Structure 1
Amino acid sequence: MNFFNNLKLGTKITSGFFVVAILAFAIGIVGISRIKVISNNDTELYKEMTAPMSNVVNMAESFQKIRVDLRDVLLASNANAIPEYETKYNTDKENFSKNYLAFQETVHTNEGKALCEKLDKSMTYFEQLVSQIIQLKKENKDQQAFDIIKGEGVKANAAVDENLAEIIDMKESLAKTTANDNAAMASSATSLMIIIMILGVLAAIGLGVLISRAITKPISKLVDYSNRIAVGDIDINIENITKDEIGDLMSAFKKMTENINEQVNAVEKIASGDLNINLSAKSDKDVLGKNIVLMAKTIEELLTEIRKLINAIQEGKLRIRGDFCKLQWGVE
């Protein structure tokens, strides 16, 4: 506290503004950093969660087309129509694979990788069955093709559907978790900024009160001292002088009161008949000090002349006169 009080007024005020500026800067930094993190998380949410969902939808759509292609193969009346359906099947399978590869690039968790492995196996097995069915249809072995689709084909189809559903559920769950995390982070950032703003306001108010008291308190004392001196009360003891501009003013005021006290003491000694005063003018402008010294000197000279007259009278020398004309005040 003494360290702060001893600072210059300009330094006190500047430090107050500096602290408030630092707090404002801290609020801005926290806000910007949190906004940046949330923005990055939202970007990740889109890239890793939202965009991949379109790949999954395209995969499901391509798989549905593959099943339609397989149906057309099974319902083909002769082997000559099979190549056309096979071409459509290969196109749809290629679209499935393209979207699946794009989707796999966004999978980073162990759970996601495990689901992709399951889909790899089920889709590979399904494609093997489709290849067998197409080959059987080309060989006009329709019954064997139907037997496969009714048996292992149903299981393989269900496995792929189940794996796709699991992948969709996983992505939805991750997207929800990420969104909740972003919301929690936004709430946390808001709370933190509110706390810092409250601290900033309290700090600004505290510094304002501190600086105000550091200025007004000593000035109030000086006003009180001045009023006391104005009514003749010089019993003043000025202490706890700081090293700022107010302290300089109080030091000057203390010197003034000490000088007044010294002059009053000199006057009191003169009034009591003691002309042996130890007083000197503080400067050429010290009119009161010079006149007190002159007054003591004049009284001393007056007393000297009076003593001469008394001695002369006692000795019967009645013609002797005092040289009162040389006295500044004169005696009538």
Structure 2
Amino acid sequence: MNGMKSLKLSVKLWGSYLIIALIGGIVGFIGITKIKAINERDQLMYQRNTKPLGEIGEIAVAFQRTRANLRDVIIDRLLMDQEVDAYVTAIQELDKSIDAKMKEFEKTIVLPEVRSEFESLKSTLAKFNEVRDRVLTLAGENRRDDALKLMRGDALTLAKSVDASVHKLFQLKIDGAKKKAEENAAASGAAILFNVILTLAGAGAAGILGFLMNRAISRPLSRVITGLQESSDQVASASAQVSASSQSLAEGASEQAAGLEETSSSMEEMASMTRQNADNAHQAKSMMAQVDQIVADVNHHMGKMTEAISEITQSSEETSRIIKT
């Protein structure tokens, strides 16, 4: 049991499937074997008991036709003085048919009483054929009285013996077939009972195996399910905590977003002021350039003025000297 507990779940499942399949295979194999045995018994009954009934029946019919042809020979030859070659030929063909059926029937003999009666029939038929041939000879010689006497005497006695022997063989085969059918029925009943018992045993074994496998599988699964439930509870608790933390983070993020929005607005204002200062600086630079140009022009004019004043001063000095002189 400890070894089973240590096995993997897949190994347990495959093992249970294989064992159940093996049980089903054994039940099926034994059932097929029993059915095959019953079928063989039926075939044997047909070959040894049923088929010979037809053969012995054909022997009886052929024998009666032989007697009928012998009678026609007596009537047509001795009473009507007609040709009887066709009847004689028919009798010869019937003899061949009887011999062939006798050989086929002999192959099916198993029981000693059937063998004994068959040998008696062969002997009686041989004697009858001898008497019959003598009757045909007497008829051919137109010895009417002798032929009729022999036909009504020894031939009739032997014919009755043949009929009795054929009837007895027929009855023996019927009794054999009945006995074989009863044996087959008993064997079939035993096979059915055995298969029922084996099937129930197999079903019980499969049920026990299924119960054991269920226990071996369900317990670990129960533990796994319990562990999963506990883990699920822990995950749910952690999820709740994470949700709360996420809510807090969301609120903080909202506040940060508001602060960022204010900062962004301030930055935009600063950027606007910076752009305005840059424009003012550019204007101041332009004005300074203009002032520099004006100063330069003033300096230039002052220089010109200074030169003019110098020239005027010099002219005044020269004028003064001239005056003094």
TM-score normalised by length of structure 2: 0.62
CA contact (8 A) 1:82 1:134 kept: no
C-alpha separation in 1, matches of 2:125 and 2:97: 14
Query: SS of the counterpart of 2:142?
Result: coil
The equivalent residue for 2:60 is 60
The equivalent residue for 2:71 is 71
**Counterpart mapping for 1:174-253 below 5 A:** 174-217=176-219
What is the RMSD of the two structures over their aligned residues, measured on CA atoms?
A: 2.8
Larger-gyration structure (1/2): 2
Query: SS of the counterpart of 1:203?
Result: helix
Instruction: Report the CA distance between 1:210 and its aligned residue.
Output: 1.5
The equivalent residue for 1:32 is 32
Give the number of equivalent residue pairs. Answer: 228
Deviations for 1:201-235, whole angstroms, at most 9, x for unmatched residues? 211221122223334457778999999xxxxxxxx
Report the more deviating stretch, 36-45 or 155-164: 36-45
The equivalent residue for 2:239 is none
C-alpha separation in 2, matches of 1:2 and 1:126: 87
Deviations for 1:21-71, whole angstroms, at most 9, x for unmatched residues? 111101211122122222223233333333222221211111111111121
The equivalent residue for 1:121 is 123
Q: Among residues 160, 163, 166, which one is paired with 2:165 in the alignment?
A: 163
Instruction: Report the CA distance between 1:117 and its aligned residue.
Output: 0.6
CA contact (8 A) 2:49 2:176 kept: yes
Query: Quick one: higher RCO (CA 8 Å, sep 6+), 1 or 2?
Result: 2
C-alpha separation in 2, matches of 1:181 and 1:144: 54
CA contact (8 A) 1:79 1:138 kept: no
Instruction: Report the CA distance between 1:110 and its aligned residue.
Output: 2.5
C-alpha separation in 1, matches of 2:209 and 2:123: 70
CA contact (8 A) 1:59 1:100 kept: yes
CA contact (8 A) 2:135 2:150 kept: yes
Amino acid of the structure 1 residue aligned with 2:51: A
Query: SS of the counterpart of 2:72?
Result: helix
Q: 1:223 to 1:106 in 2, by over 3 A?
A: closer
Q: 1:167 to 1:80 in 2, by over 3 A?
A: same
Deviations for 1:61-83, whole angstroms, at most 9, x for unmatched residues? 11111111121222232665343
Amino acid of the structure 1 residue aligned with 2:206: A
The equivalent residue for 1:135 is 137
The equivalent residue for 2:174 is 172
Instruction: Report the CA distance between 1:195 and its aligned residue.
Output: 1.4
Q: 1:132 to 1:221 in 2, by over 3 A?
A: same
C-alpha separation in 1, matches of 2:202 and 2:210: 12
Report percent identity of matched pairs: 26
Deviations for 1:92-141, whole angstroms, at most 9, x for unmatched residues? 22222222222222223323222211111010011111011111112222
Q: 1:222 to 1:59 in 2, by over 3 A?
A: closer
Structure with greater helix share of residues: 2
**Counterpart mapping for 1:237-276 below 5 A:** none
Q: Structure 2: 5+ residue runs without aligned partners?
A: 230-325
CA contact (8 A) 2:23 2:206 kept: no
TM-score normalised by length of structure 1: 0.61
C-alpha separation in 2, matches of 1:85 and 1:222: 99
Q: 1:118 to 1:49 in 2, by over 3 A?
A: same
Q: 1:119 to 1:113 in 2, by over 3 A?
A: same
